[in-house]
A and B are shown apart, each in its own frame.
Chain A
Amino acid sequence: MEIEEIKGTFKPELIPKETGGDLDDYEDALHVLMKFMGSMSSALEQVSGRGANAIVYQAGKRMGHESAKMMEKTENLEQALDEMGDVLGHEFYFEKWKPSGQSSYTTQEGDQVVIKLLFMDCVVRQTLRRTGLPQKGPLCYLLYGYMVGAVEEVMDIKGKIDIDHVGPNACLKTLTIKWSGK
């Protein structure tokens, strides 16, 4: 394949007006990054075993806390999730989910509130499929950490997330928050 070199004049600028490249370049970059992430995840698992999950979880949690700093603080879980949905955008598109026999999305268990989230679009899932890796591995912990970090930041409480089920088109997770503080 012949690589076309782009030549031009370049002046210092705050925000570049043009990014260079077209859709094919974006696609190539995405695939390279997916392969890179996949191989980093398996290497991490090989070296650190189950510790890999904890490392990636912490990284995700930090990202979650950072991005949720801009969100409005609330004590309402459903409102917090709506805000997080806006921030996560279409690449991590999720909805609240409940079995047909349950009347509301949230259930109270002692001092804990539980809600099920259905992740329909997920860049992590796409990366795993691109690199032939199984779901529920270290990379999935990035999203768990992210969600927990963001909820903790917005609601100022302690949270955890568990996987109920992973599928090729959607994954179901349970978010639990504890009202008794951090």
Chain B
Amino acid sequence: MVNIVIDEDACVGCGSCVEDCPNDVYEMDETKNKTKVVKLDDCMACLSCHEICPAQAMEHQDIHVAKRLYIDRKVNYALERII
């Protein structure tokens, strides 16, 4: 079962995730000016919100992580040694 964790220190309250999520999973908490999860059961783990969030403030736990075979293993390996 998917779980979404919002890093409230990182969230800048831009509301992009609220606008972008096709299933209205998020809502703005007006008092805190941060996003909050209101419809967790409707999250389909598309991760569009990850792409749009400027602060990388959310984490989706226990989801199906799609294969990413387009990433070159040799490049990954080289980067791992540098970083």
Q: Does A122 contact B (CB under 8 A)?
A: yes
**Please, how many residues of chain A have a CB less than 8 angstroms from a CB on the other chain?**
30
Partner of B67, one of A27, A97, A126, A167: A126
Known A27-B73, A164-B22: A170·B46 in contact at CB below 8 Å: yes
Q: Interface extent on B, as a size class?
A: 20 to 34
Per DSSP, chain A at the interface is mixed
Total contacts A to B, CB within 8 angstroms? Answer: 68
Report yes or no: A130 in contact with B46, Cβ–Cβ below 8 A: no
- Distance A126 CA – B72 CA, assembled complex (angstroms): 12
Q: Does A34 contact B (CB under 8 A)?
A: yes
Report yes or no: B41 in contact with A169, Cβ–Cβ below 8 A: no
Taking CB as reference atom, which chain A residue is nearest B68? Answer: A126
- Distance A160 CA – B44 CA, assembled complex (angstroms): 22
Q: Does B63 contact A (CB under 8 A)?
A: yes
Q: Does A129 contact B (CB under 8 A)?
A: yes
